[in-house]
Structure 1
């Protein structure tokens, strides 16, 4: 006998502590409707429960959940441990030991006491042969375009691909596959339908690959020019080529410097010498694309009479590593763009049975990552150029009003939990209704229904080969 699960949130205490399933959170975020446009209050992931006759719910291919914590890499000798501690700033040690560690311990105990089973994730779809990474097919860039676009002005992007800068997004059809010779034909695209669209790349069955585009989603497939230096930014107004829209929510997962990840070659990261450029780039994205209250026009207010209310929130969210430099960069990027850090969400990585994947007080490796969240200051329009002091990280950290914990069993490398449903619960809903909002994910590795996504890997986990039909539904054995 099995119990069908209709939400990726497997357990929660109010809106502060969550147990989340990562692959299922991504799968439900591909839903048949765009949840950010619904008027019903968020209960679970209601938008993804109803399936159309045209399509069947898909399950995202994953890796087996870890059953045991990772082998320890901590220094064993007291002298070696002391040496590592000496190299870590006192403010950073206090941040983790006094603010994060007690919260994580309490939250894990709360989840253990509340869950009705000993599995902390849903049943996963795993290939017959164990794999640790899926490679999205590489397609040679091409300047060929669909007929009818001859008037389009094209400019080469920083990766050498063609980026369409002066035309609306390519509108995808959900009624039939959208066929292109190469992904380079498809830099900016939108699926306005309430059903998923299919992109086919290539003309022969041997080389053809497919991507699933969720309803209401849009994407810009390009190498972001954040690291092109000050000369590039001085000559280009928009930090994201081809995008002029502003958003209520901007979520970023930047390529922070990480020696072990760089050695593994999983994806491109940036050296500490480029940290300043990354900070400036994030700030410019927030300044250019964050929603401002003056964006609400009288015409829009009148058009919403009796309809769903458009959110006036302006939220920034940046994933950081456990290095002090990345936290400082995120704080500074937000502050200089007119945001105050208001929340931090801690993703705690656990084994199948709920143990942290490494020691909570580890020096080399910590079993959690943090999402820094900021709200735009009310006076931003008046003093947009001013930024609050962020050099003293202790002051900023202690001023954070709310911290939430999200426990989740890790999935494939670079996969973060999809937090759309939690963002909607916390920032875009009330007891009686849900606000309409716009969202952009920067450095995205998959698409989300109703959201924009940009980056050179925005379609990575939307490749058809990453999905299988979910014939039984997700379940816990009873």
Structure 2
């Protein structure tokens, strides 16, 4: 289950000393708010990769890494790479155990039997998608686009994408025969209409259901009014 996988990954992260300094959870992980608050105070790498992806596009992908488009994590040694050499390359952990990848001064935990590609949107839709294709396609594809919204525009926290550009994603080259495609959206009826009436037909994807992510407090109460027209819990 997802819970078991999460527990296993956290345990491996502790064994690799990636969570040193954090308190041990005394109850179920998903109900331990104190641990979550402590973890959230850890300073990550900020917008490092976002900036590098933009630089990668500006340089047309040249001189940012060697000819190898793949990095394979194996053995117990911690591989170290400069951040700019990660962009546009697929990183694989083919081990049954989690591995640590060091990028500049930052360390990342890569789950077992997993891979990832750090790429700009432009590179992904033009070439990057080919690097992550798998035989028979993916069973599940989850897309969380950086939608245009006033809060992000005001804070300038990340680059946003115009919704029509999502049509450039080659879902037909990534999905399997009976794949499930999930797209997160904000509480915006216009975006919902775009996905159901425009984007999904363009991808030859059938709309089957709408799911809601219900955020609740420890006591089970919604974090805000369910009927609020502005913000959903």
TM range (shorter): 0.7 to 0.9
Cα deviation, residue 333, structure 1: 2.1
- Corresponding residue of 1:255: 146
Cα deviation, residue 287, structure 1: 1.8
Deviations 1:205-237 (A, max 9, x none): xxx22111111111111111189xxxxx7xx4x
2:57 equivalent to 1:158:
yes
Cα deviation, residue 285, structure 1: 2.8
- Corresponding residue of 1:277: 165
Gaps of 5+ in 2: 23-29
Query: 2: distance between equivalents of 1:254 and 1:173?
Result: 32
Contact 1:174 1:195 in 2 (8 A): no
Contact 1:253 1:319 in 2 (8 A): yes
Q: Could you state the TM-score of these two structures normalised by the residue count of structure 1?
A: 0.38
* Residue of structure 2 aligned with 1:240, choices 129, 145, 162: 129
2:179 equivalent to 1:314:
yes
| DSSP-derived class of the 1:346 partner | coil
Query: 2: distance between equivalents of 1:157 and 1:31?
Result: 35
Deviations 1:232-258 (A, max 9, x none): x7xx4x463633433121110001111
Cα deviation, residue 259, structure 1: 0.6
Query: 2: distance between equivalents of 1:365 and 1:247?
Result: 32
Say if 1:165 and 1:322 are closer, same or farther in 2 by CA, change over 3 A.
farther
Contact 2:129 2:174 in 1 (8 A): no
Query: 1: distance between equivalents of 2:13 and 2:228?
Result: 47
Contact 1:31 1:214 in 2 (8 A): no
Cα deviation, residue 316, structure 1: 0.7
* Residue of structure 1 aligned with 2:98, choices 196, 207, 213: 196
- Corresponding residue of 1:329: 194
2:83 equivalent to 1:183:
yes
Contact 2:119 2:128 in 1 (8 A): no
Cα deviation, residue 167, structure 1: 4.8
Say if 1:7 and 1:189 are closer, same or farther in 2 by CA, change over 3 A.
closer
2:158 equivalent to 1:267:
yes
- Corresponding residue of 1:420: none
Query: 2: distance between equivalents of 1:30 and 1:333?
Result: 36
Say if 1:213 and 1:53 are closer, same or farther in 2 by CA, change over 3 A.
closer
- Corresponding residue of 1:173: 74
Say if 1:348 and 1:212 are closer, same or farther in 2 by CA, change over 3 A.
same
Say if 1:348 and 1:60 are closer, same or farther in 2 by CA, change over 3 A.
farther
Gaps of 5+ in 1: 1-5, 9-24, 33-47, 62-119, 142-155, 203-207, 228-232, 293-312, 368-478
Say if 1:221 and 1:322 are closer, same or farther in 2 by CA, change over 3 A.
same
Contact 1:173 1:193 in 2 (8 A): yes
Say if 1:261 and 1:357 are closer, same or farther in 2 by CA, change over 3 A.
farther
Cα deviation, residue 350, structure 1: 2.0
2:31 equivalent to 1:121:
yes
RMSD: 3.8
Say if 1:199 and 1:327 are closer, same or farther in 2 by CA, change over 3 A.
same
Query: 1: distance between equivalents of 2:7 and 2:200?
Result: 29
Pair member with larger Rg: 1
- Corresponding residue of 1:407: none
Matched residues, number? 214
Say if 1:326 and 1:189 are closer, same or farther in 2 by CA, change over 3 A.
same
Contact 1:164 1:188 in 2 (8 A): no
Say if 1:218 and 1:170 are closer, same or farther in 2 by CA, change over 3 A.
same
| DSSP-derived class of the 1:177 partner | coil
* Residue of structure 1 aligned with 2:229, choices 334, 342, 363: 363
Query: 1: distance between equivalents of 2:180 and 2:112?
Result: 23
| DSSP-derived class of the 1:356 partner | coil
More off after superposition, 239-248 vs 159-168: 159-168
Query: 1: distance between equivalents of 2:66 and 2:202?
Result: 27
2:206 equivalent to 1:340:
yes
Query: 2: distance between equivalents of 1:265 and 1:192?
Result: 37
Query: 1: distance between equivalents of 2:108 and 2:138?
Result: 25
